[in-house]
Amino acid sequence: MKRIDLAGQWTLVREADGSTVSAAVPGDNFSALLAAGTIADPYVGKNELDVQWIGREDWIFRRTLAVGPELLAEDAVFLTFESLDTVADVIVNGVVAGQSDNMFARWRADVKPLLREGDNQIAVRFASPERTAIERAAKLPYPIPSGGAPVESPHRNLLRKVPCHAGWDWGVCLMVSGIYGEASLLATSAAIIDHVYTDQRFVDDRCEVTVQVELTATRELDSQLTLRLDGRETTVPVRLAPGANQISAMIPVECPRRWWPNGYGEQPLYDLDVQVAGCELRKRLGLRQLELETREDEVGLSFAFKVNGVPIFAKGADWIPCDARPAGHTRSAYDDLLSSAVAANMNMLRVWGGGQYERDDFYELCDEKGLLIWQDFMFACSLYPADKAFLASVAAEVTYQVKRLRDYACIALWCGNNENLGAMTWFKESREQRDRYLVDYDRLYEGTIGRLVDQLDPARAYWPCSPCGGRGDYSDCFHMDSRGDMHYWAVWHSGKSFDAYYDVVPRFCSEFGYQSFPSLPAIRSYAEAKDFNVTSPVMEHHQRNGGGNSKIIEMFSRYFRMPNGFANFVYLSQVQQAVAIKMAVDYWRSLRPTCMGTLYWQLNDNWPVCSWASLEYGGGWKLLHYFARRFYAPLVAVAWQKAGTVEVRVVNDRLTAVAGEVVLRVMDFAGRTLNSIARPVAVEAAASLLVDRWTVAELTDTPEASFLQVELATAAGASANTHFFTPWKACDLAAPAIDCRATLDADGRPSVRLASDRPAFFVALEAEGTPGVYDDNGFTLLPGQPRDIGFSPKGEFDFARWQASLRVYHLQASYG
Ligand code: BMA
């Protein structure tokens, strides 16, 4: 057996004129053209508009390969491409070896008959994705609508390609072509492994792991299957027939250490080693029980994940591809973003259906970090075909992806699509002929995907759509908070005020979001100082949601005073976003167990843009991410105000009871305590406790001139939360004098000491040119309570430069 890795430098040919540049594989054509200096960076200014021609053309990736006699002496030489994006001919020495038109299904064929000793040419020719989609649309028997982004490539729903390559309401439109993941040749006279996947069965103190191996043999063969797991070894004889084979064996783990999501325990991973017919495959298994509990109850239909029997309140966000150029999907980019998710106390991410099934690196890291994954299939915000050819392609995709991913402990749920049930009401065609489109919907998400998931991964739940009310419920559950999951967009898309979050009691909110601008340093990556105005063409180009900037400004007018200058505008937009999402999460978390999850839209960006993300492109933390670290903490005291009444609750996600004290301190803007109320609290494990309710009048005589600090002190730690009785704009905040000193602490770690003579709100540190993460940011700074804020620089660190560029933002200074 001999394996040749085809990763490395290939040649990219523009078919229209035969011009060439060097291209990395794995990689994409845009990245190759950018690296070669052929195009300007599409993330800068409005360059995106000048590179749309790339998606309208055909491209060839090719390379030569020396093949020796030992390779050709084997029975078969398998050429494997993990992902060809998208409509591709695979050509070996000028002969078409096969075709692919689904980037989510692996392509593999025996190409031995086409190889010869000496130099060989391997080429993949990609037809223009945009042209292909338009051609397919013209042939449809009836229209199948999709789309709506300001810069977009049409009919994306007719290609099995990452939907958001075609542009989104946060996404650049780059119709890339490329070769991703594994690209290899494997010569063998025995077999090639197609899949290894396992079943876990817990019996008393052991976990029985049954390993299924699917392999293609080149001849009839007696071999043995050897499994190693947790220091144990099992070997069984196997007889392989030429062609497809499926074999299995069981290996037990005694007293397994269980895998837990972040915040609930550790993430032990067991090394599994599989050997058969000269092939070897290794993977790491997390052993755990996981279920989605959906029960009819007095409210409606519950929706809660249980791991090892313990109900988990899901805390997290929605994940989109981390770069619009697939060459950027590196393990280190994943690691950085996922580490930030863990740092913000998240335990679940939803891999959203307009993106992609991520690379194995992503799921390996989620297993290591304890991030549960809600996995959508890649269908979003559109209607889709359900003809025979399309369904066959989807069936191949689902079969491949479920077999590839089902062993990751992190995967909690398979979900058919994003919002396509709701999308039935978005398009004229489906409003007028709902039956026709609903039949197609059912064929795709039940008849094809649901049926396959039931068969291929019976231990996991299948949920046909996010949001929906469960299998068999075809009503538009978009705005229904009592059954299953919901997406709540009234606050952004429908322009409702933030307290509208208090009007719904979701069972599980899998999307809700509010936009902000990326940081000033991120804006500098695409705009020049002359463009630093929110209505400049470049700033508007980096806002993809129609009217988005107006929404941000209009919401300022409801809650805040108008900021001075561009930097404060950017800062205040981040404060506003953070406040919005915090209000929703504080309230919904406190509704547990009726509500059992909040995933805000969205964790990350795929290019530098104004969006709902808490992590900007490149991984920098917006203020929302710092807020998330606090509002997703396992133990919090929260306050909210509805109709003149303030309610205070303590939410405890821990599996142990907590006792302590809550102190409500009403303060004025000079920092004097006007009123203070202390209450002992005893919160049960995994519970929400009502501390009490007070009318605003009971707490303060001067709601516009005071604020509330809710302090929680327990043996497990202390935290504080700030509540305003009126919109911030109504308060005459005193100008604080903030003293800011940068130091290196005893062990050489950069740190900032902040002290103020008056209360300062949403105090935020930023140092342009020195990226990194502060231990806290966007917090309330009280007189007499200085804070030391550590800083973890990303990349090279120069103390003097950092110190000189440190800037402190706070609410009063944003307009004062
Ligand atoms: C959602 C998502 C995305 C979109 C977001 C913001 O519902 O599923 O399609 O980007 O809203 O509009």
Mutational test site, ligand 1, from 477, 511, 577, 614, max ligand atoms within 8 Å of CB: 511
Mutational test site, ligand 1, from 146, 493, 601, 611, max ligand atoms within 8 Å of CB: 601
pLDDT of residue 746: 86
End-to-end Cα separation, the chain, in angstroms:
73
Dump pLDDT digits (tens) for 164-189. Answer: 999 999 999 999 999 999 999 999 99
Residue nearest to ligand 1 atom 6, measured at CA: 169
Share of residues in the chain with pLDDT > 70 (%): 100
How far apart, in Å, are the Cα atoms of 126 and each of 21, 59, 105, 220? 16, 5, 16, 37
- Cβ-Cβ contacts under 8 Å for 669 (sequence gap 6 or more): 705, 706, 707, 731, 732, 733, 734, 758, 759
Residues with CB under 6 A from ligand 1: 168-170, 354, 380-381, 418-419, 487, 511, 601
Instruction: Give the chain's mean pLDDT.
Output: 97
Dump pLDDT digits (tens) for 131-164. Answer: 999 999 999 999 999 988 999 999 999 999 999 9
- C-alpha angle 630-631-634 in degrees, rounded to nearest 5: 85
- CA-513 nearest atom, ligand 1: 6
Between CA 758 and CA 435 the distance in angstroms is 63
545 CA → ligand 1 middle, Å? 10
- Cβ-Cβ contacts under 8 Å for 513 (sequence gap 6 or more): 489, 492, 581, 600, 601, 602, 612
Instruction: Please provide the DSSP assignment of 386-414 as one string.
Output: -SHHHHHHHHHHHHHHHHHHTT-TTEEEE
Dump pLDDT digits (tens) for 206-242. Answer: 999 999 999 999 999 999 999 999 999 999 999 999 9
For residue 354, what pLDDT band results from cuts at 50, 70 and 90? very high
Structure tokens at 660: 């302590």
86 CA → ligand 1 middle, Å? 24
464 CA → ligand 1 middle, Å? 17
- Cβ-Cβ contacts under 8 Å for 463 (sequence gap 6 or more): 292, 413, 414, 415, 416, 470, 471, 484, 485
Between CA 237 and CA 720 the distance in angstroms is 63
Residues 738-752 have a mean pLDDT of 95
Amino acid at site 776: D
Dump pLDDT digits (tens) for 493-541. Answer: 999 999 999 999 999 999 999 999 999 999 999 999 999 999 999 999 9
For 387-423, b where at least 16 C-beta lie within 10 A, e where not — what string? Answer: eeebbebbbebbbbbbbbbbbbbbbbbbbbbbbbbbb
785 CA → ligand 1 middle, Å? 41
pLDDT of residue 147: 81
pLDDT of residue 185: 97
Q: Is 378 exposed, middle or buried (0-12, 13-18, 19+ CB in 10 A)?
A: buried
pTM higher than the cut 0.85: yes
56 CA → ligand 1 middle, Å? 26
- CA-493 nearest atom, ligand 1: 12
Instruction: Please provide the DSSP assignment of 615-672 as one string.
Output: B-TTSPBPHHHHHHHHHTSSEEEEEEEETTEEEEEEEE-SSS-EEEEEEEEEEETTS-
- In the predicted structure, residue 478 carries a pLDDT above the cut 90: no
Between CA 806 and CA 340 the distance in angstroms is 22
634 CA → ligand 1 middle, Å? 28
**Bridge partner residues of 203 (DSSP):** 206
Residues 582-591 have a mean pLDDT of 98
Rg (CA), the chain: 28
Positive or negative: CA dihedral 136, 142, 146, 148: positive
216 CA → ligand 1 middle, Å? 41
Structure tokens at 228: 């190693």
Residues 243-258 have a mean pLDDT of 98
Dump pLDDT digits (tens) for 25-67. Answer: 999 999 999 999 999 999 999 999 999 999 999 999 999 999 9
Q: Are strands 95-100 and 673-683 parallel, antiparallel or unpaired?
A: unpaired
- CA-169 nearest atom, ligand 1: 10
pLDDT of residue 722: 98
Residue nearest to ligand 1 atom 10, measured at CA: 169
Is the CB of residue 346 less than 8 Å from the CB of residue 262? yes
- In the predicted structure, residue 682 carries a pLDDT above the cut 90: yes
- C-alpha angle 594-596-600 in degrees, rounded to nearest 5: 125
pLDDT of residue 679: 98
- Cβ-Cβ contacts under 8 Å for 459 (sequence gap 6 or more): 199, 200, 290
Between CA 27 and CA 176 the distance in angstroms is 10
- In the predicted structure, residue 649 carries a pLDDT above the cut 90: yes
pLDDT of residue 717: 87
Is the CB of residue 14 less than 8 Å from the CB of residue 36? no
**Bridge partner residues of 318 (DSSP):** 350
Q: Does residue 251 come out as left (phi exceeding 0), alpha (psi in the -120 to 50 range) or beta? A: beta
Residue 706 has a CB neighbour count (10 Å cut-off) of 22
